[in-house]
Amino acid sequence: MRLLYGKDVINMSEGKVLVGMSGGVDSSTAAAILKDEGYEVYGATLKMWDAPDDAEVSAKTCCSLEDVEDARATAFKMDIPFYVLNMKSLFEEKVVQYFVDSYIKGETPNPCIACNQHIKFEAMLAKALMLEMDYIATGHYARIERDESTGRYLLKKAIDHTKDQSYVLYMLRQDQLSRLLLPLGKLTKKQVREIAREKGFINSSKPDSQDICFVRSGHYSDFIREYAKKEIPEGKFVDESGKVLGRNKGIFEYTVGQRKGLGISANSRLYVIDKNVERNEIVLGPREKTLVKRFYADEMNYIAFDKLQGAIKVWAKTRYSQREAEATLHPLEDDQVMIEYKEPQSFVSPGQSVVLYDQDVVLGGGIIRRFEINQ
């Protein structure tokens, strides 16, 4: 065993690895670390979306032409082969169409999780195996460890909890985890930038991307209207009794827990507490009505075990930037589950993902479908 960049390295000196390089500092540094550890490294940028020529482009998005060139430049500096893999058709089907359809149905999807599931860790791994490579790698901040007692691969939080990305990786399967390397899991962001500067990478100070890559202007509603190519009707704002409070701009413009941008005058602050898609109504109420005691999820993926055998204590997280809250996970029929918080929590939105933890271990997760407002 040897220690490199703060990481314990065991039998890490051989094998071919395809590194997904977005053009950012994280994936570039991940590739550099793996090369220094003795891997035969190949870089790959996934081409997923072409913005219209006249599109307003946000500096916070990823996957632009500039990002491709940054990835190519860092690969050249490391003297590693570099590919651009065309994933546009699959990305539109599995991510963009899913994003638009979910919003129109009144849900609040997470397209980055869908992209990870279908593109970065499904399609890229298939491509790597076709090229007779042993592993894929990304610049995500999380850790993978093998439990010797069970033989299962575990997904764990990053050492740097301020950068932890385990929430968006809960969908990984055992066969994918066994082929995935995450070299940044035991590093801080500061350490990553220091390594990039030492390597002379042009992106060592590049800001992190934040916005959705295919929504270049940052305006989700404008993109949905344009992509769907149909009129999205306005609806009503109502209170819990059904009293009309005003007009909403369309069911997809709002998410549960939202307070700002409602355009409603009231004596007290109002929040989105529910959405009635059939009636095209947004239900508003006081903040305490955003609190949820129980909610339900499906499309469950478990990492720490094969199947949920009975109710277990967990720590649940329903937003990327949210802290986990203590809860009980109950199995239901047809692979559905019910999550019951110990104390009611806000911001539980259908379409979002719930990720379940035991300390720093990701047990698994799924898609939220419905919730019960705390009474």
- Give the residue numbers annotated as catalytic, written as ranges: 115, 213
Structure tokens at 161: 């909890």
| 3-state DSSP assignment of residue 231 | coil
Alpha helices per DSSP H over the chain = 25-36, 65-78, 88-91, 97-104, 111-115, 124-130, 174-177, 189-199, 220-228
Neighbour tally for 81: CB within 10 Å = 11
- Please say whether the beta carbons of 153 and 143 come within 8 A: no
Q: How far apart are CA 207 and CA 267, in angstroms?
A: 41
Structure tokens at 298: 């499906």
Neighbour tally for 139: CB within 10 Å = 22
Q: Which residues contact 193 (CB under 8 A, 6 or more apart)?
A: 25, 204, 205
Q: How far apart are CA 84 and CA 65, in angstroms?
A: 11
- Please say whether the beta carbons of 100 and 215 come within 8 A: no
- Please say whether the beta carbons of 176 and 167 come within 8 A: no
The phi, psi pair for 336, rounded to 5°, reads -90, 160
